[in-house]
Amino acid sequence: MNNETAKQSAGTFLVLVPHRDARQKLQKYSEALLKNGLAGVYIFPCVAPLARLSQPLSAGELKQTACLLRNTTGLTMITALGVSTAAFSENLTIHGPCLNLTISDDLLSVTKNKAAGIFPLILAGVFLTLKDTGKQLCISVPPLDKLEFRAAAIANMHWKKVKINGEIAYKWKIGKLSWLPKKVTKASKPL
């Protein structure tokens, strides 16, 4: 595997991790889709990618980013606005409920240039597809009934492509969680 292929098949992301109750609802939604015959998909952890990172954020950077995320969005309740798709990598599309979050470039200034790219559409991912099959699947995926949560954390997620018994699969590991503050605060201290 050359370096370019390795970069495409592995990566580090800053992800929003909903509270356990919301993740369980997303997991049940994912399982229901698979039971109803949704095929040709790769399972994805029930998290929302916010940015691709060139290297993981430190504990301090995660904590400050969590505070800034709560403060800059002004949201105390995060809700799903329907199901959508977005590019996850060069050849993969992520599918899931679209969250009412917008990430500004200013928000990730605390990452000290570790953010290699911000996701313009924030989705609570439930599965991945190859780019050429993603648009066809989106039409047949029913919306999630209702998803809203107050408690959430951010974390580094390491993701990579692996081969298991000759089949392509994706493996991930979510790092230590840094919880968003419960309330919007007036000011945050710089790092």
Average pLDDT of the chain to the nearest whole number: 81
Lowest mean pLDDT among 53-57, 70-74, 120-124, 182-186: 182-186
> In the chain, where are the structural domains located?
8-176
3-state secondary structure of 103: coil
Q: Which residues contact 116 (CB under 8 A, 6 or more apart)?
A: 51, 52, 53, 54
pTM for this structure? 0.85
pLDDT band at 47 (very low <50, low <70, confident <90, very high): very high
Residues of the chain with pLDDT > 70: what percent?
84
pLDDT of residue 189: 45
The third-level CATH classification (topology) of the domain covering 8-176 is Cyclic Phosphodiesterase; Chain: A, (3.90.1140)
The yes-or-no verdict on residue 133 having pLDDT over 80 is no
97: pLDDT strictly greater than 80 = yes
pLDDT at 5: 35
More confident residue, 126 or 191: 126
Residue-level pLDDT at 90? 81
Q: Is the pLDDT of residue 7 over 60?
A: no
Q: 98 Cβ partners below 8 Å, 6+ apart?
A: 80, 81, 82, 83, 84, 121, 122, 123
Is the pLDDT at 190 greater than 50? The verdict is: no
